[in-house]
Structure 1
Amino acid sequence: MEIEAEAAETGRRTGRKTARKPRPGEVVEVVTRGEGRRGWSSDQKRRIVVEAMQLGVTPTEVIRRWGLTSSLFYTWRRQVMSGELGAVPAPLAAFAQVAVAEDAPVLPLPAPECPARPPARIEVVLPDGTTLRLDEDVGADALRRLLAVLRGR
Structure 2
Amino acid sequence: MISVGKDGELAPIRRKRRSWNRDDKRRIVDESREEGASIAEVTRRHALNANQLFTWRREFNLDPAARKTITPILPVTIAPDTAAEGSTSGSRGQMEIVLSEGDRILVWADVETAALSRVLKALSRR
TM tier, smaller: 0.3 to 0.5
- TM-score, normalising length: structure 2: 0.39
Q: Which is higher, the Rg of structure 1 or of structure 2?
A: 1
